[in-house]
Amino acid sequence: MKTTPVTYLNENDGSGILAFGLGPTFILDEQSDLDSIQSFINENQGKYIFTTLSYDLKLKIQGLESKNEDALKYPLATLWIPETVVKIENEKIKNYLFGKPSSDNEAFVSEFFSNSNMGRSSLDVEFKARLTKEDYLKQVTNLKNEIQLGNIYEVNFCQEFYAENVELENSVATYFKLNELTQAPFSCYSSLGNFDIFSGSPERYIKREGTKIISQPIKGTSKRGATDEEDQLLKEQLLADPKERAENVMIVDLVRNDLSKVATKNSVKVDELFGIYSFETVHQMISTISCEVDESISFTEILKATFPMGSMTGAPKHSAMKLIEKHENFKRGIYSGAIGYIAPNGDFDFNVVIRTLIYNREAKYLSCPVGGAITIQSSPEAEYEECNIKVQSILKGMNA
């Protein structure tokens, strides 16, 4: 299909939102001020603004720096106003949210979803780990020492798997192949500029509906069972696991604290604690936290209070991020950032960029980072195994 900016937000329940066509675009770089994001939003009120937020926005929000390897070179943020936005139901246009019906639009949507039904060949890409197992175990041990010293309580430690000289003939088909493996509720495909993003995310970062804000951090992972009985047992073990519960409740407290910075008085609450949800390859422990905000609170005010999301940093957030830069050996970029949209009325919804492949077309570079939470109870070997469960379910499936 023709090259055009496109974002597909796929709920994997038969519905989704598809945006396409080049409209006004804003790219935030390291020289730009964070408030320029809000200026672009204010200038384009009444329109859909599809947005990607790099984890490295922390450079602007938290006053931190990074000297780690940046092979992917993803910008700090992108904001793009498409020509057309349609609500999708069962791979067909249900209705137009923005733009006018036309035969060209109908043809674009039809061609886009034809990729979900075509036979998809193996990705046939050899991925390398940027961090050896020995170094991974060493860094996790070092981070546990930081916890022992009381510098942090928990930290999300990530590593990158990557491939070079990659030629993707059909990026939309690549997304649909990943989606077959993950079937996640915050799945998305994004193609803008030199970058294609293929995300099978199960996690919501933040959503606004009127004056209500909700966040749904994931902390706690288990593999799926081979039988129904084993599957049920693994779910019960995940719910009862003291380490996983400790991870989860620490991030819930962090999110409560973040939201309190913008919430109306006494409105922050935990709607669900330790919910167990099953996805195609893993079980996850998910909690839901919400609050009320004043109508005048802006997008960037909420961003400054809550980003990056606690599930991808650790607690306390600032200290955890400083240690992340010290112990990781790559710049995360869009990984553990967020992708979503701001609606014409100011409502918004963003995922957490995990279970994701990111492709730089110009550099022919394909990245698949993965991470996990480190607590004082963590076993370095077990954490390494959990990372492998997460990443191999993607890499092996994409190469099958």
Task: Please list the active-site residues.
Answer: 203, 219
Give the CA dihedral 102, 192, 298, 271, nearest 10 degrees.
90
Cα(22)–Cα(253) distance, rounded to whole angstroms?
A: 41
Residue pair 242/250 in contact by the 8 Å Cβ criterion:
no
Cα(25)–Cα(44) distance, rounded to whole angstroms?
A: 11
Cα(317)–Cα(219) distance, rounded to whole angstroms?
A: 15
Cα(59)–Cα(53) distance, rounded to whole angstroms?
A: 12
